């Protein structure tokens, strides 16, 4: 690891200015991804600005019925929050399915969102990777690609975004509040992370020096009936092969409204707009659920080792929708 300066920020505007003016400065949250990547030699910051002491550590109800989550709120606190458990169970469930108890006690809401989209080839310094070294090639496309993307990937990169929390936030249609050198702006969650295209080294649409200060959840009554289902290689403490965050409102056997997002399938949390469009207004039957899944998967492009993800997504969507429909 290269030596670096460390500053514990007590003012958000100053923190942003400090990082913005130095190309090789980084914000430090819980450190569970950044410090690991510094140890691996993937990133070599010359300055870390610690933002965990900034006053962004509260979960507060908003006047419109939504909830504001401070960017420094730890994953464990967010999962245990009564408002979240009651009104957005999909978010609590997603958080609890991620990482381990020790990591959730460190990891922050903002840090979780800007963790690197990654794959094993990215994490080793001796194999080509366009994300780590633009133009060097993708080792996964012709290599081991069992856990990789089936939707929205490119010839340059087939890595997946590992966050569970972000999949739930994507289904909920959260908005991300960002502070930059030019002031505040609001980014819809679906526009925060990028598909790889020919610039897979850019995970997000944030500019250097922009800091996530909060995540706002909209008032969303249907989120009370929501669930997160994660399929993985072992029962706990593993990334998703496939996951689904679903909220649905069914009345008299008809889907009135629905939100669906998928994890483990793309370079970013994948909002399943096509499935949602097919479900909205349709009878809540297993045939419709399957047709919705197939609509979303129409453009899936599995790699040599991950063809199983296509039926796995279909089965996951159908079974979670069936379960939520039964609870109505």
Site residues for other proteins per CB under 8 A? 1-6, 8, 28, 30-32, 35-36, 38-40, 44, 46, 48, 50, 52, 76, 79-80, 85-86, 89, 92-93, 96-97, 99-103, 105-106, 235-237
Q: How far is CA 251 from the centre of its chain?
A: 30
| Strand ranges, E, within the chain | 5-8, 25-28, 47-50, 59-61, 67-70, 175-180, 183-188, 211-217, 226-231, 242-251, 254-263, 270-271
Residue closer to other proteins, measured from CB, 36 or 199 = 36
- Tell me how far, at minimum, the Cβ of 45 lies from other proteins, in Å: 10
Q: Residue 299 CB, nearest distance to other proteins (Å)?
A: 31
Work out the burial of residue 11: count CB atoms within 10 Å of its CB; fewer than 13 is exposed, 13-18 middle, 19 or more buried: exposed
Smallest gap from Cβ 194 to other proteins, in A, equals: 26
Closest separation between CB of residue 169 and other proteins, Å?
17
Q: Measured from the CB atom, is 239 or 289 closer to other proteins?
A: 239
Least Å from the CB of residue 201 to other proteins = 20
**Given the complex with other proteins, which of 87 and 139 has the nearer CB atom?**
87
Select 70 or 89, whichever has its Cβ closest to other proteins.
89
Residue closer to other proteins, measured from CB, 29 or 66: 29
Alpha carbon distances (Å) from 48 to 26, 34, 189, 214, 274: 5, 10, 25, 20, 41
Q: What does DSSP assign to residue 219?
A: P
Return d(Cα 155, Cα 127) in angstroms, integer. Answer: 16
Q: Which of 218, 189, 217 is nearest to 205 (CA)?
A: 189
């Amino acid at each position: 690891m290269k030596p670096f300066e460390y500053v514990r920020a007590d003012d958000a505007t100053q923190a942003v200015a400090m990082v913005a003016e130095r190309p090789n400065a980084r914000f430090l949250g819980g450190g569970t991804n950044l410090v690991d990547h510094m140890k691996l030699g993937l990133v070599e910051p010359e300055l870390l600005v610690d933002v965990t002491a900034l006053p962004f550590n509260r979960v507060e109800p908003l006047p419109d019925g939504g909830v504001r989550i401070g960017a420094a709120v730890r994953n464990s606190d967010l999962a245990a929050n009564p408002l979240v458990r009651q009104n957005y169970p999909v978010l609590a469930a997603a958080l609890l399915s991620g990482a381990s108890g020790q990591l959730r006690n460190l990891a922050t809401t903002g840090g979780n969102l800007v963790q690197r989209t990654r794959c094993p080839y990215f994490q080793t310094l001796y194999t080509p990777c366009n994300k780590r070294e633009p133009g060097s090639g993708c080792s996964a496309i012709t290599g081991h690609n069992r856990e990789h993307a089936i939707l929205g990937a490119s010839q340059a990169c087939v890595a997946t975004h590992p966050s569970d929390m972000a999949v739930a936030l994507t289904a909920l249609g959260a908005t991300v509040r960002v502070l930059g050198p030019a002031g505040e702006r609001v980014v819809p969650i679906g526009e925060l992370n990028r598909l790889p295209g020919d610039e897979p080294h850019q995970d997000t649409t944030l500019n250097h020096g922009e800091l996530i200060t909060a995540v706002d959840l909209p008032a969303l009554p249907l989120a009370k009936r929501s669930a997160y289902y994660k399929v993985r290689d072992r029962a706990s403490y593993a990334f998703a092969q496939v996951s689904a965050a679903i909220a649905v409102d069914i009345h008299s056997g008809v889907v009135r409204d629905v939100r669906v997002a998928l994890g483990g399938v793309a370079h970013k949390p994948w909002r399943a707009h096509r499935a949602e469009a097919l479900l909205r207004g349709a009878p809540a039957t297993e045939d419709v659920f399957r047709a919705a899944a197939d609509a979303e998967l129409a453009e899936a492009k599995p790699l040599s080792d991950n063809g199983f993800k296509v039926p796995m997504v279909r089965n996951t969507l159908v079974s979670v929708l069936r379960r939520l429909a039964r609870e109505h």
